[in-house]
Amino acid sequence: MSPKVRRQFSPVQFTNVTINDVFWTKRIKVNREQTLPFEYEQCKTTGRIDQFKPGFVPKGTQFTHMFNDSDVHKWLEAASYSLATHPDPKLKATVDEVVDLIVSAQQPDGYLHSFFTFVQPEMRWKNLRDNHELYTAGHLFEAAVAHFMATGERKLIDAACRFADHIDTMFGSEEGKKPGYCGHQEIELALVKLYSATGNEKYLKLSKFFIDERGKQPYYFDIEARERGEDPKDYWAKTYEYCQCHIPVREQDRVVGHAVRALYMYSGMADLAGEYGDEPLLNACNKLWDNVCLKNMYITGGIGPSAKNEGFTFDYDLPNESAYAETCASIALFLWNHRLLQLDCDSRYADVMERTIYNGIISGVSLDGRKFFYVNPLASVGDVQRQEWFACSCCPPNVARILASLGQYVYSTSDTDAVVHLYVQGTGKMNVAGQEITLTQTTEYPWDGNVRVGIDVPQPTKFGLRLRIPGWCKGATLKVNGEAVDLSGKIEKGYARIEREWKSGDSVELDLPMPVERVYSHPEVRQDMRHVALQRGPVVFCLEEADNDDSLFKVMLPKDAQLNASFQKDLLDGVVTITGEAVVVDQSGWEGQLYRTEPVKTKPYKFTAIPYFAWANRKIGKMVVWIPEA
């Protein structure tokens, strides 16, 4: 199959998007000024930087994971994005130093992975199942592409290409190459990026090989295990569902195993479906989308409920306290949906992106940018705290790279249309219908649902402007130059599409009513039975002990409770809170009893809910998203 591009939409590059937004600007600033330097320091003090030095000897437990290189790669990717929008000589100097170090560790044959160069060279390419070598390579490629785009410098991307060339000599269906693929997917999507940046079709084909080969029998991981003298049955994860190679990729229709592995793979599949017009691959993505997003996704956009496999269990199993919902998994879900959105401009994909980015992704980093969640539970009895770093520290730099490149996800274009997916105040410059147009959003989203989109065109130009009507919104209205437009017949796959000859000074005003909504889970989600969550716009709320008291698990929300939303500028860097009157169990009369036949009584309880993403930024305490409904 030769490349036959199916993708009709392309993201507007974040370098063409400015963000000047009530919600995002401060978080991106914190990301740039706090998170990036802090994460570099963490990489430094944990030996992750020095490990690239030839002859480096690991000390203590810093090599807790053989894929520590990838944390540095992801940090470098994030730093490069930041340099692209916010030049910073000091950060640039650090980036240069890190690039030099990484490149210095490259071997003559192109191999570039510190652990299997300096610590266990004898294991190179011997255990693709467990050793994350191709995964780490993938993050190197993503960093290299970002670095090249940000700086125009070729040093890192050339090294990445040499490594990719080496990998291409090692793996493939040709005689003499190994028919292997990675136990932790990532390289598939990264090779597509490397292809896009370099135009070298070899990388695209290699990505396709990895996707096509996966799950074929006899299993490569079986063969490889036997070559190591191991019994494949002794695989610690017990099933190849763990890394989604139990069956060929195109036959997969149920999300299984490790969440990040799964969703990175699906992202690669969407990339390849777009590049090759590969319908079976797209069909698999669509089936998997239904399974993930309609049966296995938390209201926060978290996925993968179980700590045991860092992943999936069975449909509708969404425990709250023990939710794993790894930050990286939400990011992967975001990335996958962004790719699908370019193939099919359907708001359901952007809805998932919005759900993750306002909830389960940014919950992964504290407001001060220096503490992180790896796991994002939806309830806590008060034993959960953000950490400064992790032994496996994939999540912190992953959030950093998303925030540093957030503009990437706001707009798309096709030949004829400009599309607004996310509502973020600022501008987007893009080419549509042969013209460079600029869209300027004015909004206080997500706190307010009014969005004005100003159009600037060099000359009057006919094109379609698509504005997403979020799935959470009922009764959206739209005006063009102050005049109401009847949206009936104008909604295409969840986007309002206005096609006309636009001229500079035109504006569209979209009004998205944003009342507090009570949200219910599908009845098969047994953990949320008779519970309600509060959502306003895309933001999911929670009750946190800091605003209430420690009786959170005894609070119930009557069906008719009045709910009041108001912006609190001094709280948690400025958030909307929801207050109202609930009820709490009256515990009097329970002394000396654990069980009794008299029903529980309640008394009034004033509560304050805050956005979920902002929890765990104050004193440690209880938290609940799903509130029992009385």
Q: In what order do the strands lie in the sheet with 450-456?
A: 17-19, 426-432, 435-443, 450-456, 507-511, 477-480, 483-485
- The correct pick among 429, 479, 554, 618 for binding its own copies (CB under 8 A) is 554
Shortest Å, Cβ 454 to its own copies: 32
Do 571 and 367 meet the contact criterion of CB atoms below 8 Å apart?
A: no
Q: Per CB under 8 A, which region of 76-84, 272-280, 489-497, 527-535 contacts its own copies? A: 527-535
By CB under 8 A, is residue 536 in contact with its own copies?
no
Helix axes 395-404, 36-45, angle to 10 degrees: 150
Q: How far apart are CA 125 and CA 564, in angstroms?
A: 58
Nearer to its own copies by Cβ, of 415 and 586: the residue is: 586
Nearer to its own copies by Cβ, of 106 and 306: the residue is: 306
Helical ranges in 199-323 per DSSP H: 201-213, 220-227, 259-276, 279-295
* Residues whose CB is less than 8 angstroms from the CB of residue 243 and which lie 6 or more positions away in sequence, other chains included: 129, 183, 184, 185, 237, 257, 258, 261
Which of 241, 310, 326, 544 is labelled catalytic? 310
Q: Per CB under 8 A, which region of 53-61, 180-188, 236-244, 551-559 contacts its own copies? A: 551-559
Nearer to its own copies by Cβ, of 86 and 530: the residue is: 530
Q: How many CB atoms lie within 10 A of CB 584?
A: 19
- CB neighbour burial string for 223-238, b if at least 16 within 10 angstroms, e if fewer: ebbeeeeeebeebebe
Q: Per CB under 8 A, which region of 32-40, 131-139, 149-157, 548-556 contacts its own copies? A: 548-556
Nearer to its own copies by Cβ, of 105 and 534: the residue is: 534
Residues 558-587 that bind its own copies (CB under 8 A): 559, 585, 587
- The correct pick among 44, 124, 155, 518 for binding its own copies (CB under 8 A) is 518
Nearer to its own copies by Cβ, of 228 and 308: the residue is: 308
Nearer to its own copies by Cβ, of 219 and 316: the residue is: 316
Q: How far apart are CA 329 and CA 261, in angstroms?
A: 8
Q: How far apart are CA 114 and CA 101, in angstroms?
A: 11
Shortest Å, Cβ 310 to its own copies: 17
- The correct pick among 519, 561, 571, 620 for binding its own copies (CB under 8 A) is 519
- The correct pick among 177, 238, 530, 619 for binding its own copies (CB under 8 A) is 530
- Intra-chain end-to-end CA distance of the chain, in Å: 58
By CB under 8 A, is residue 346 in contact with its own copies?
no
Applying CB under 8 A, the site for its own copies has a residue count of 38
- The correct pick among 2, 459, 566, 597 for binding its own copies (CB under 8 A) is 597
By CB under 8 A, is residue 599 in contact with its own copies?
yes
394 included as an active-site residue: yes
Which of 394, 395, 473, 542 is labelled catalytic? 394
- The correct pick among 560, 569, 595, 604 for binding its own copies (CB under 8 A) is 595
33 included as an active-site residue: no
Do 333 and 321 meet the contact criterion of CB atoms below 8 Å apart?
A: no
Residues 285-324 that bind its own copies (CB under 8 A): 293-295, 297, 299, 314, 317
Q: How far apart are CA 64 and CA 260, in angstroms?
A: 19
By CB under 8 A, is residue 254 in contact with its own copies?
no
Looking at the DSSP bridge assignments, the partners of residue 567 are 576
Do 537 and 512 meet the contact criterion of CB atoms below 8 Å apart?
A: yes
Shortest Å, Cβ 377 to its own copies: 14
By CB under 8 A, is residue 234 in contact with its own copies?
no
DSSP 364: G
Residues 367-386 that bind its own copies (CB under 8 A): 381
Nearer to its own copies by Cβ, of 2 and 597: the residue is: 597
Q: Per CB under 8 A, which region of 31-39, 165-173, 494-502, 590-598 contacts its own copies? A: 590-598
Looking at the DSSP bridge assignments, the partners of residue 343 are none
Nearer to its own copies by Cβ, of 127 and 291: the residue is: 291
**Interstrand relation of 483-485 and 435-443 (parallel, antiparallel or unpaired):** unpaired
- The correct pick among 228, 238, 526, 619 for binding its own copies (CB under 8 A) is 526
By CB under 8 A, is residue 219 in contact with its own copies?
no
Q: Return the H-helix or E-strand segment holding 507.
A: strand 507-511
Q: Of 222, 274, 216, whose CA–CA distance to 250 is shortest?
A: 216
Looking at the DSSP bridge assignments, the partners of residue 109 are none
- The correct pick among 600, 603, 606, 619 for binding its own copies (CB under 8 A) is 600
Q: Is 33 helix (H, G, I), strand (E, B) or coil?
A: helix
Amino acid residing at 567: F
Helix axes 36-45, 89-104, angle to 10 degrees: 30
Q: What is the DSSP code string of 145-176?
A: HHHHHHH---HHHHHHHHHHHHHHHHBSSSTT
Nearer to its own copies by Cβ, of 330 and 413: the residue is: 330
Helix axes 327-343, 395-404, angle to 10 degrees: 40
By CB under 8 A, is residue 592 in contact with its own copies?
yes
Contact positions vs its own copies (CB under 8 A): 293-295, 297, 299, 314, 317, 381, 517-526, 529-530, 533, 553-554, 556, 559, 585, 587, 590, 592-600, 628
Catalytic residues: 310, 394
